[in-house]
Structure 1
């Protein structure tokens, strides 16, 4: 079958890499793609948010499945447009994508369905928000309600910081995403990423993962889109996975169906594993980045078959096989990230690095300029290793990084430290 994958990041390269191995695949296209994706798919210069162009391309190329990578097209209703045009797609409808598009929507759903999450309030008026803040303990979390490209979350340690965050959100610092603000209790524990394929009625858990949001070693500095990840996450035991499905994922699927907005696609739950059990921090309605890179390294089943089963509503008869190996990815980012990244620098040595045993390098922000590989984003490369243990996977990834010649980039040296510390290595 002909498949169109939308997106241009490391997540999409990992998905393209896995999809390209499917015996069900005839031809894989990616819009717009990147220099790495071009090795496994035909890249086409179409903006994933341009619904008309995407639909026309699907008709011209007889696309039988569209896999929507990023969140913005989903929240904007691309799935609805594709469905109305009779084109099969993987991802939620606009109404179901509210689980990521509106943090307030998700918090209210948790309250209705009894899903464990942080206590919260939602406000469109600054004074009302500040009155609520005055009665809360610190630290506290202030979030822009809508999509803010990962920048709309402030963990405030003082009352002044919290009030400034409220003012920033409601005064337009995050555009329309900050028209409403959500104020949440700060949760204590260890974060984990949990993914489940959902067909509107049934849900199938994927392997667990943990990422590293802070830009610097030792989890210091500002939050980013993710500086690395590993799978499996030792804190997500089978017992914990069962609890997450029972207490968080399945009630969400049931409640969304009851609201007439059944969720189809992949549900990405950002969790805090607390002393009393798992609590939902927030939902994303697409695969995570950089978690997808480590999940695809461990997946033994046919990804395309799994996406089709999800789309066609037959997950109850489907299962996935995972490698017992661990995987770990290290993000190489351009200097200046997560502020203003330095674009246009040349990357050398990638072929040598790619030849490292048990390593795949997924491109997140690259382009080709003649024969040169050029950095063209904030997060630029995902150097991903595999091994029998997380320590072995880490060693493979860092061995490959040592062969990359890129003065214009940087990376964390301690990816996987929580898992290694837990395992005593």
Structure 2
């Protein structure tokens, strides 16, 4: 018997160390040649490591969440016969070629819930709840809006126990019926056990990035109300005649309006290297689109968004969402953003103050579309009350780079296009 030491390979230019995200094998387990035995995470991507030999694992570098330096021991494997020579740092066995993001489920936004939704509705953690007899839908995928999921989570109800409507979707009425049958709103529930959860992997990266952003960037936010009635009418007309093209949400229209406005506000589409004291203003718009997932925030990037038409943007949004959902998003699809759009979809609220995706200098947050009566011109010099669709747009900016006047003027210019949407289609 001999021992083979697998050293942490160089998995990216400038990467000095990687985090242990998940062990697939433990000390004492047998690992086969070319079998994945651990997932390692860099700043953006998770890379599965494959064993170059078959044998028994006798030593590992650390626990999940620990950092391992490039070139240091990751695992020691006991093999039959003579072990191959330990690979030097610059010749370490290469990791699997495909780079995947954190192993998560990302659902493509459902336009029926909120056409402008970027946020992804994660499945709630199982919570203690009354356990009635299982029904035919017990083990099927739970279909419910984010609002129903949030309410069920607050009430401590596992939605897998709630009988859905005929279409398979659980609504508030179904949740009410379940609560009524199982003790009502006032029923006492056992206290949940305390949990200690180690912050590792994607969650730790998010925590570090958000802390660095708030610590280093003096944020300010500006919110403006936009009348999107005409925009929604245009979107409906385009969808009615789209043929085999993808269904348009409001997002491609908003991105197009933003891209048309940015040439007059180059300070918005920029990145700030505060260590070097250099601001880079970009001609191309690499639009990040933030999405909430079970593991946390992911921001795939639409490259050269300004060069794409509405249908190309719709295709790219769908493609990136699918790539993230299936764990096939490439590392370069998660990097290089120059400006980010973020939304909570149907939970968008009245206004948001999003945190900037450092080193970018601005982030834009469309909020929920609501219907409200407004005074509008009646064509005879007077006014009449009319039901209109309204949406607030928030922007947070780095005050070291962007002045308040510029941020407000930029959003006002975007608003002009949104409220006169025919201008969005003009080249």
After TM superposition, the score normalised by the length of structure 2 is: 0.27
User: Which protein has the bigger helix share?
Assistant: 1
Q: Which has the larger radius of gyration?
A: 2
After TM superposition, the score normalised by the length of structure 1 is: 0.27
